[in-house]
Each structure stands twice: as structure tokens, then as C-alpha cells.
């Protein structure tokens, strides 16, 4: 075992030790784990001096590894179950198997007041779980300690003693010896640095030996007090003795100035004077003096500690009492303590000087002026002198003038007369219809600056808006002397016919309103036309009829609030083929013998047709449904308003060709709106219809077939439009007239289709 001197110190290793309290339930058998793991140099006893600093070496030991050569587990060895419990020791690692026990500094090792012996159990464990546990006994050894000062004197003490106090007791020093727990051994006290003004007795009593006078220079003393024990160990402490001055002198003002001139409008908080004083008792330290203003003043305040006088509120030379009297007098009081001390007074005078701080102002900065467009040159628009002023109290600060007018549209139109006078006059043309005035919108913006005549030449801008009032110089007239519009009679209501427009050469253009003052009425419709009052656009209110009224004469009136004008509007109603043929009779019944001769006019029947929008030669006739086997035809088939019904072919009941005895013929009467090629309509065509019933009367000797007659229902659609079936029938008739044979099958196929007319 290696025993080290308890005063030997080592630097702590990087590995921090720990004190852990463990309950060791059992230890694994060394044989089972492969061999012995042993702590070398333990158990052992070591000494350490009291008050040893952290990292003081206590004991060194090593670890003998087991047969398996498993290394010591990280963090081991450790201190466990110390008796008595302590955190004052830890284990540091020196190498893989070498370790040391050192002090931690967490606890004071005090021989006189703490434990003197500690049993530290050192516990080690390797990677395979083999362990060992040994005891290190640490004995704390006594070390002689120097005496110590008690209370505030341990860190140094400052004593205050009033000046002129009689020599005598000042302070009792308190000390003790840590080695003398019973406090029976006396200690010796003394002044390390002797002083003619103080002495100290052996028991630690401090006395003054002279009367301490502050004004004589005895302001403070630095004493070093020493104490010694029986072993000649010493300690020292600083004792500062400060002499307290007595207030017995009147403060004296040291600032030389009593009168000040300051400009108006200095900012609140600006320092305008610095009153200084000194107190002989304080040897010129102004921080001990208190300043105040005794006169009532709302303009100034004084810093009670520094004596600086500052502006408290706005100093306006141009208003109130300062405009009448710019001088302000203050009485300043200085005291050396808040109450019961010494004081002195001084008179301070401030004169507030006028500066040019007010710009020229105007009661109005914006003006709106309306002039007629015929206003004469030299017309006075505005005299700014009636509105502008300067609040500065003294000349020349309260003088101002006006700059030349400028701004959009002001050039060569407005000026000052005389220059700088503020009298704004008209010098140009304001004609509303002048192109240059139109470009400016007949509205002009003029900017004039009112400016001080002295620095800093404050400016204010005055804005004058000049609007030209138009005069009615030109009449309201329509852009045409009259209007003629055409509209088809087939056009529906709300159809746009045309537009009228009235113009006034005056500027700006006024809103023109339009109305129909006369014309455009019928018995059925009081208003056939409507005009948009804002745009002058003419529209139909209802459908017109060329055949009833082909021309309308309207009077349209326009007004702009000042003038009224009217114009004639002629509306021609263009005729269209919108009327279908009307024939008499519209329905007729006839009976004919079965052996009536071909080409006979059946019962002298004839159709007489009229059409309001077609000539008598425009009609074409065709038979639609019911003309079975084409026994009937009309002559003429076209070109006349009168036609006759003829028997076109003989009946053949005996041969079985004919089976029907009652014929119901649907006759189509079409007006002539076909092209010369007769294959396509040029415009709309109109078709009228006539229904004819023809009964064939058999010969008395004829045998009438008793076979039941088929019941056929014909649905006839009557429309005032183009008829595809009529077109198809007309095609068949044309083929017959051209000498082409048309079979009954072709006729049955062609009649119902609507596409035949397009082929």
C-alpha cells in the first residue's frame, strides 16, 4: 500500500467520480465468471488535511483484472455507501487499471466541526459482471487556522463619525479563532498602519485620539486592523472611517449671467440657462444643492439638482401676454438641503425675441370662380389681400407678397395686376367653343403662392379653380333637314327604323331629349312608332300594313332645356307578299254523272280570287289531296284570277281503276312569287285553299260495287306560308304540260314529300 502525504495535490482527471449508495444483495461467484477481479492497495487508510481544496489526492489504487481480462466497466470504480454519508470524495481514472481518490470540494472538511473519519467503500465491476468491494478509511487531520473577523468587518467596514466629535470610543472589533471552539484563548488586536488620530486596544476597541475637523482636511481615514492568535497566525481587515460634514455655510451662486435673450418658438425642453452655485460645506459638489423657481411661471422649469432652466411650454411672441410684454423675470432659490438648511436667491430675466415663424396665412386657400365665356379682359376675379395675413408681431416678419399665377390653363388667360398685388384679373379668351379652351375643358387651375419677404421665406399655396359658364350662342338643329326611312311591312315590333340626331354647337354639349310630337297613329294603334328619348333611335311599336297605310309622316321634336327644334321624318312602309289569295266560293258541292265528257266545265263552276298584294295574273291553281287518278283540273292553271274546274279524264269503274264515288278536293291557290325557272321561291309566297266536294252519280243501269268503301281521314293544315305539297303538285302539272308521262305510283310518292320542290 502506498500512503501519500495528505497535503499532496493532483490535477483531477477527465473522468468524474461519483458517490453512489448501493445495497449489495449478492456478488457473483468469481469462479463462475472466469477468475478473480481484485482491488489492489485496498483496503487501506489515508489522511487528508481539513479544508483541503477540490482535487486533493487522498489515495491511489489499481485493479487486478479477472482471468477473462475483461476491462473495467465504464464509470467504475465508484464510491458507495460512505459512512458517514458524504459527497466530499470521488474516484478518478488514471489509466485502464490505475485510479485515485480525490476530494470533490462539495463539502468542507472541517476537523473542528465535522466528522474526522470516513469509511469509503470502493466498488468495481468489469464487462462480464465480476465485482470486488473494498474499504478506504479516510482520516481528516487538524490544521492550525488563523483567527477570523466577524460580521461586516470580514469584508471591510465603513464607519461614519461626525466632525468635531470629542476624542474617544469609536468601534469594537469582533474576532474569533476557529481552533478555539470554547473561545477561552485571548486574541491580540492592533493597527497594522499606525495613525496619530486613532489607536486600538489589545481587546479590539478603536479610539479617536484627536478632534476630527472636516474643513481641516480630515474627511476619511483608511485603517488596516490586525489580529493574532497564540500560534502567531494573523489576519487583517480594512476599516474605513469617514468624517461626516456639518452644514454651516450658505451656498454661493457661481454663474455670471443674469439676463438672457431667447428666440420665440424654441422647443419645450430646450435649455436656456444654467444657474450654478456651490456650498462651502460640500467643497464645490453641486449635486448636493437643490434649485427651484419661486416666482409663478408657466414658461420655464428648473432642474432641482443641476440648476438648468428649460422651456416648459411654447413661447409664442405673437399672441397673448408675450405680444404685449416679451420680458419674463424669475427668482431662483438654491438650498443645500430640502428643509432646515442654508439657502440663497438670484434674479434671472429672459427677453423673448420675435422671429419669422408664421407663414402668411389665408382664411381660404381654395377658391372656385365661375365666369361667363364672354367675360371682358381686365375683369377682376379675386383680391387675395382681403383673405391673407401674417401673425408675426413685428416687421418685416409680418410682410408678404404674391407670386405670378401658374398652373394648368392659366397661361395667357390670368395674371396679377399690378404684379405681386394679389389682384387676379382676366387677360385672355374664355370662349367655350375655342379649340384651345375645349382642350382645357373650359376649366382652369391657377396656383398662386403667398410668400414671406424675410427668411426662411415661408410659402403657402392658394388654389383657384376657374370654370367658364357657357352661354347659348347657337341654336339646336338636326343634322338633316328631313329624314326618310324605309321599313318592310313584315318587320315585327321593336324593329329599328333609323336614327335622328340634333346638334347644338354650344359647348359643352347639353343632353338632347327626343320625342314624336305628331304623326304615326292609326285607328287601331295610337302609337305605331317609338323614339328613344336619349339616342333619337326610331323603332316600331307594332307591325305595319303597306296595304292600309304605305307612308307615315312624323314630326320629331328635340330639346336640350334651352332650345327646341323639330324635323319631318317620312317612313315608307315597303310592301311585301304577306297576303294570301282569297277565293269565292271557298267551299262548293257538285254532282256529276259518271259519263261526263272529258274537258267539260263541271256545272259551269268557276273560282274568282283576289290578293291584296298580288296582281290578277299572279295566281296559280293546283289540286292537292283528293284528286284520285287525276280526274279533275283547273283551266287556266295560272295567269288569271278566274279559273274553271274541268273533268280531265274519264271515270273507269267498270275496269276497276276507280272505286271512289265521292271526291273531296283540296285546292291550293298560290300567288306568283316563283323564279322564271319555277323551281325556287324568290320571296315568301302565300297560298290560299278552297275545298270542293264532287259526287259522281252512276248511270241508272250501272252496277254499283257493293264492296265497302275505305274510310279515309284527311287532315288539312292551312297556313299562310309556302306549301310543299302545292309545290309538289305544281311540279307534276308542269311535267304533264311538258309532255312527260307521270305514273300513278310517282304521283302518290311525290305528293306527300316536301323535298320534291328542291329537285
Q: What is the pLDDT of residue 292?
A: 92
At residue 744, the pLDDT reads: 52
Rounded-to-10 torsion of CA 727, 729, 734, 740: 140
pLDDT score recorded for residue 22: 46
CA distance 346 to 275: 9
How far is 387 from 462, CA to CA, in rounded Å?
11
CA 238 to CA 249: how far, in whole Å?
33
CB-based contacts of 403: which residues, under 8 Å, 6+ apart?
420, 448, 449, 450, 451
Query: How do 687-697 and 443-452 pair as beta strands?
Result: unpaired
Residue 672: strand, helix, or coil: coil
Number of residues written out for the chain: 759
Phi, psi for residue 123 in degrees, rounded to 5: -115, 130
| pLDDT at residue 181, as a whole number | 67
With CA atoms as reference, report the closest residue to 645 among 586, 609, 601, 689. 601
pLDDT of residue 409: 67
**In which element (H, E) is residue 744 found?**
helix 744-750
Residues of the chain with pLDDT under 50: 1-34, 284, 674-682, 702-707, 712-742, 745-759
Chain centroid to Cα 63, Å, comes to 77
Residue 78: name the closest of 43, 122, 40 by CA: 122
Residue pLDDT, tens place only, 396-447 = 888 888 888 887 767 678 888 888 888 889 888 777 777 777 666 678 888 8
- Tell me the C-alpha distance between 277 and 303, whole Å: 13
pLDDT the model gives residue 270: 94
By the 8 A CB rule, do 359 and 390 touch?
yes
Q: Is 397 left (phi over 0), alpha (psi -120 to 50) or beta?
A: alpha
User: Helices in 380-426 by DSSP H: which ranges?
Assistant: none
State yes or no: cis peptide before 636, omega within 30 of 0.
yes
Q: What distance in Å separates the CA atoms of residue 274 and residue 256, rounded to the nearest whole number?
A: 10
pLDDT number for residue 753 = 38
Helix segments in 203-331, DSSP class H: 320-324
Among candidate residues 502, 554, 567, the one with its CA nearest the CA of residue 528: 554
Q: What share of the chain is helix, strand, coil (3-state, %, to 5)?
A: 5, 40, 55
Element spanning 476, H or E: strand 476-478
pLDDT at 259: 93
Opening angle at CA 166, ends 160 and 170, nearest 5: 40
The phi and psi torsions of 242 (rounded to 5 degrees) equal -110, 130
Predicted pLDDT of residue 683: 58
Report the DSSP pairing between strands 564-574 and 551-559.
antiparallel
45 φ, ψ to 5°? -125, 135
pLDDT given at position 709: 52
> CA-to-CA distance for 417 and 405, rounded, in angstroms?
11
Distances (CA, A) of 73 to 66, 93, 410: 12, 12, 102
CA-CA distance, 740 to 425, in Å (whole number)?
Answer: 101
> Would you say 546 and 573 are in contact if contact means Cβ atoms under 8 Å apart?
yes
CA 359 – CA 458 distance, rounded (Å): 5
| C-alpha distance across the termini of the chain, in Å | 138
Question: d(Cα 578, Cα 261) in Å, to the nearest integer?
Answer: 108
> Cβ contacts of residue 341 below 8 Å, gap of 6+?
247, 335
Amino acid at each position: 500500500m502506498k500512503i501519500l502525504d495528505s497535503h499532496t495535490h493532483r490535477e483531477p482527471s477527465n473522468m468524474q467520480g461519483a458517490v453512489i449508495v448501493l445495497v449489495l444483495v449478492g456478488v457473483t461467484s468469481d469462479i463462475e465468471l472466469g477468475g478473480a477481479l481484485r482491488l489492489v492497495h485496498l483496503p487501506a487508510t489515508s489522511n487528508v488535511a481539513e479544508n483541503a481544496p477540490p482535487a486533493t489526492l487522498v489515495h491511489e489504487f489499481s485493479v487486478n483484472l479477472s482471468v477473462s481480462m475483461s476491462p473495467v466497466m465504464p464509470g467504475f470504480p465508484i464510491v458507495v455507501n460512505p459512512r458517514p454519508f458524504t459527497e466530499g470524495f470521488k474516484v478518478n481514472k488514471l489509466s485502464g487499471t490505475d485510479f485515485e481518490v480525490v476530494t470533490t470540494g462539495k463539502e468542507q472538511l472541517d476537523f473542528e466541526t465535522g466528522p474526522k473519519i470516513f469509511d469509503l467503500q470502493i466498488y468495481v465491476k468489469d464487462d462480464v459482471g465480476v465485482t470486488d468491494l473494498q474499504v478506504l478509511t479516510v482520516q481528516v487531520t487538524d490544521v492550525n487556522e488563523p483567527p477570523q473577523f466577524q460580521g461586516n468587518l470580514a469584508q471591510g467596514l465603513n464607519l461614519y463619525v461626525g466632525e468635531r466629535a470629542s476624542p474617544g470610543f469609536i468601534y469594537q472589533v469582533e474576532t474569533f479563532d476557529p481552533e478555539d471552539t470554547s473561545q477561552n484563548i485571548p486574541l491580540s488586536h492592533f493597527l497594522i498602519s499606525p495613525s496619530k488620530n486613532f489607536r486600538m486596544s489589545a481587546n479590539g476597541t478603536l479610539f479617536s485620539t484627536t478632534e476630527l475637523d472636516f474643513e481641516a482636511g480630515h474627511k476619511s481615514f483608511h485603517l488596516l486592523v490586525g489580529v493574532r492568535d497564540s500560534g502567531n497566525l494573523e489576519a487583517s481587515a480594512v476599516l474605513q472611517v469617514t468624517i461626516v460634514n456639518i452644514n454651516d455655510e450658505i451656498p454661493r451662486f457661481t454663474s455670471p449671467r443674469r439676463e438672457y435673450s431667447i428666440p420665440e418658438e424654441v422647443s419645450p425642453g430646450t435649455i436656456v440657462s444654467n444657474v450654478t452655485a456651490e456650498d462651502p460645506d460640500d467643497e464645490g459638489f453641486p449635486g448636493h444643492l437643490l434649485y427651484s423657481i419661486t416666482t409663478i411661471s408657466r414658461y420655464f422649469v428648473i432642474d432641482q439638482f443641476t440648476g438648468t432652466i428649460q422651456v416648459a411650454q411654447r413661447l409664442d411672441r405673437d399672441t397673448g401676454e408675450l405680444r404685449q410684454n416679451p420680458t419674463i423675470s424669475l427668482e431662483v432659490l438654491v438650498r443645500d438641503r430640502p428643509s432646515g438648511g442654508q439657502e440663497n436667491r438670484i434674479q434671472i430675466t429672459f427677453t423673448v425675441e420675435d422671429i419669422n415663424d408664421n407663414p402668411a396665412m389665408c382664411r381660404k386657400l381654395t377658391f372656385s370662380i365661375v365666369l361667363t365665356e364672354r367675360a371682358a379682359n381686365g375683369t377682376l376675379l379675386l383680391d387675395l389681400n382681403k383673405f391673407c395675413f401674417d401673425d408675426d408681431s413685428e416687421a418685416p416678419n409680418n410682410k408678404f407678397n404674391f407670386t405670378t399665377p401658374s398652373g394648368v390653363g392659366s397661361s395667357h388667360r390670368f395674371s396679377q395686376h399690378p404684379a405681386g398685388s394679389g389682384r387676379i384679373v382676366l387677360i385672355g379668351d374664355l370662349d367655350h367653343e375655342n379649340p384651345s379652351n375645349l382642350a382645357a375643358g373650359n376649366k382652369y387651375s391657377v396656383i398662386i403662392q403667398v410668400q414671406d419677404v424675410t427668411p426662411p421665406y415661408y410659402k403657402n399655396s392658394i388654389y383657384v379653380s376657374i370654370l367658364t359658364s357657357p352661354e347659348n350662342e347657337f341654336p339646336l338643329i338636326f343634322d338633316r333637314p328631313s329624314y326618310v326611312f324605309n321599313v318592310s311591312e313584315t318587320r315585327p315590333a321593336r324593329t329599328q327604323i333609323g336614327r335622328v340626331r340634333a346638334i347644338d354647337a354650344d359647348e359643352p354639349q347639353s343632353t338632347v331629349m327626343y320625342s314624336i310630337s305628331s304623326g304615326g297613329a292609326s285607328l287601331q294603334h295610337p302609337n305605331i312608332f317609338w323614339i328613344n328619348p336619349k339616342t333619337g333611335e326610331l323603332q316600331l311599336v307594332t307591325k305595319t300594313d303597306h296595304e292600309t297605310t304605305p307612308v307615315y309622316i312624323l314630326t320629331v321634336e328635340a330639346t336640350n332645356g334651352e332650345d327646341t327644334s323639330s324635323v319631318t321624318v317620312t317612313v315608307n312602309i315597303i310592301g311585301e307578299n304577306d297576303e294570301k289569295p282569297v277565293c269565292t266560293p271557298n267551299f262548293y258541292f257538285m254532282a256529276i254523272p259518271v259519263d261526263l265528257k272529258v274537258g267539260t266545265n263541271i256545272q259551269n263552276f268557276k273560282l274568282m280570287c283576289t290578293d291584296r298584294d298580288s296582281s290578277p295574273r299572279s295566281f296559280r291553281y293546283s289540286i292537292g289531296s283528293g284528286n284520285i287518278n287525276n280526274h279533275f283540273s283547273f283551266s287556266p292553271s295560272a295567269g288569271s284570277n278566274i279559273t274553271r274546274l274541268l273533268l280531265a279524264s274519264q271515270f273507269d269503274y267498270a275496269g276497276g281503276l276507280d272505286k271512289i264515288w265521292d271526291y273531296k278536293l283540296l285546292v291550293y291557290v298560290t300567288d306568283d312569287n316563283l323564279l322564271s325557272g319555277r323551281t325556287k321561291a324568290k320571296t315568301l309566297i302565300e297560298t290560299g285553299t278552297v275545298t270542293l266536294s264532287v259526287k259522281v252519280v252512276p248511270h241508272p243501269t250501272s252496277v254499283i260495287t257493293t264492296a265497302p268503301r275505305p274510310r279515309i281521314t284527311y287532315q288539312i293544315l292551312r297556313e299562310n306560308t309556302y306549301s310543299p305539297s302545292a309545290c309538289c303538285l305544281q311540279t307534276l302539272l308542269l311535267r304533264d304540260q311538258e309532255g312527260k308521262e307521270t305514273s300513278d305510283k310517282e304521283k302518290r310518292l311525290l305528293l306527300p314529300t316536301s323535298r320534291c320542290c328542291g329537285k
